[in-house]
Amino acid sequence: MNQMHKWTATPDEIIEGKTTDVYFLRTVQCLEDDGLDKIKVWAEVTTGGIPRNGKKLVFLGLQDVLNLFIEAKLPVNIYAIKEGTVLPNKDYNGVKIPFLIVEGVYRDFAIYETPMLGFMCFQSGVGTSALRLRIAAKDKTLLSFGNRRMPPAIAPTIDRACYVAGFDGISCVLSAEKLNMSATGTIPHSLIMIEGGIKAAVISFDRNIDPSVTRIALADTFNDERVEVLDALEAIGEKLSGVRLDTPGSRKGNMREIIQEIKWELKLREREDIKIFLSGGLTESSILEFRDIVDGFGIGTYVANSPTIDFAFDIVNIEGKAIAKRGKFAGRKQVGYCESCDIYLCAQFEEEKILCPSCKFEMTKMLEKFIENGELITILPTEKEIQQHIQNQRNNEEEMQ
398 pLDDT band (50/70/90 cuts)?
A: low
* Range 327-336 average pLDDT: 97
By C-alpha distance, which of 113, 144, 139 is closest to 126? 144
Q: Which CATH number fits domain 3-125+307-400: 2.130.10.10, 3.20.190.10, 1.20.120.80, 3.20.140.10?
A: 3.20.140.10
* Contacts of 218 by beta carbon, 8 Å cutoff, 6+ apart: 186, 187, 188, 189, 192, 198, 243, 244, 246
At position 34, the amino acid (one-letter code) is D
Angle between helices 155-165 and 113-137 (to 10 degrees): 50
Does domain 186-287 match CATH 3.90.226.10?
Answer: no
5 pLDDT band (50/70/90 cuts)?
A: confident
- Percent of the chain having pLDDT more than 70? 97
pLDDT number for residue 319? 98
**Whole-number Å distance between alpha carbons of 399 and 2:** 47
* 308 in Cβ contact with 121 (< 8 Å): yes
CATH 3.20.20.70 intervals, the chain? 186-287
Q: Over 90: is that where the pLDDT of 234 sits?
A: yes
Lowest mean pLDDT, pick from 152-156, 158-162, 168-172, 393-397: 393-397
- Percent of the chain having pLDDT more than 90? 92
CATH 3.20.140.10 intervals, the chain? 3-125+307-400
* Range 86-110 average pLDDT: 98
